């Protein structure tokens, strides 16, 4: 059974919210690719649409949009997702994961692209800040 941590970003406020999904909600993510838009009801945002923007597997390997499928691939990178060079012209061979979500993915990054209402209020995060 698939189980994911989904990190939802609200671009309007710059806040992020983490949710754990499993069961039928997690199955909604299987087979989807980075850049796909899905309904937010899987993470508790029924009035919103979210876009899949990234993720990583259990070992921390990042997903890259330019690698097809779910496979692992070694790439010689000059920068971007998976490698940040420390000097100009530096390249490094890095293992990354493809853009399709499967059971090996541990974390999915998503961003709210459309919807009505406050994201924090819909996820119940406003109550926690008011108590502190």
Q: Say if 122 falls within a structural domain.
A: no
**In the prediction, which pLDDT does 95 show?**
92
Q: Say if 79 falls within a structural domain.
A: yes
Give me the domain span that covers residue 109.
Answer: 3-117
Q: Say if 102 falls within a structural domain.
A: yes
Q: Say if 25 falls within a structural domain.
A: yes
Q: Say if 127 falls within a structural domain.
A: no
Number of domains composing the chain: 1
**In the prediction, which pLDDT does 126 show?**
66
Q: Say if 126 falls within a structural domain.
A: no
**In the prediction, which pLDDT does 130 show?**
46
**In the prediction, which pLDDT does 72 show?**
93
Q: Say if 30 falls within a structural domain.
A: yes
What are the Cα distances from residue 81, in Å, to 11, 49, 50? 20, 24, 21
Q: Say if 32 falls within a structural domain.
A: yes
**In the prediction, which pLDDT does 131 show?**
46
Would you write out the chain's pLDDT as a tens digit for each of its 132 residues?
Answer: 688 999 999 888 888 889 999 888 889 999 999 999 998 888 888 888 999 999 999 999 999 998 999 999 999 988 888 888 899 999 999 999 999 999 999 999 999 988 777 788 877 776 555 444
**In the prediction, which pLDDT does 13 show?**
86
């Amino acid at each position: 059974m698939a189980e994911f941590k989904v990190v939802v970003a609200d671009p309007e406020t710059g806040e992020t919210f983490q949710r754990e999904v499993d069961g039928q909600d997690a199955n909604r993510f299987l087979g989807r690719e980075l850049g796909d838009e899905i309904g937010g009801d899987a993470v508790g945002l029924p009035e919103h649409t979210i876009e899949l923007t990234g993720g990583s597997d259990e070992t921390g390997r990042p997903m890259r949009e330019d690698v097809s499928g779910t496979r692992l691939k070694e790439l010689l990178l000059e920068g971007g997702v998976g490698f940040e060079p420390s000097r100009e012209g530096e390249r490094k061979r890095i293992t990354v994961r493809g853009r399709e979500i499967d059971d090996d993915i541990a974390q999915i990054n998503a961003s709210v692209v459309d919807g009505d209402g406050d994201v924090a209020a819909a996820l119940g995060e406003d109550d926690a800040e008011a108590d502190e």
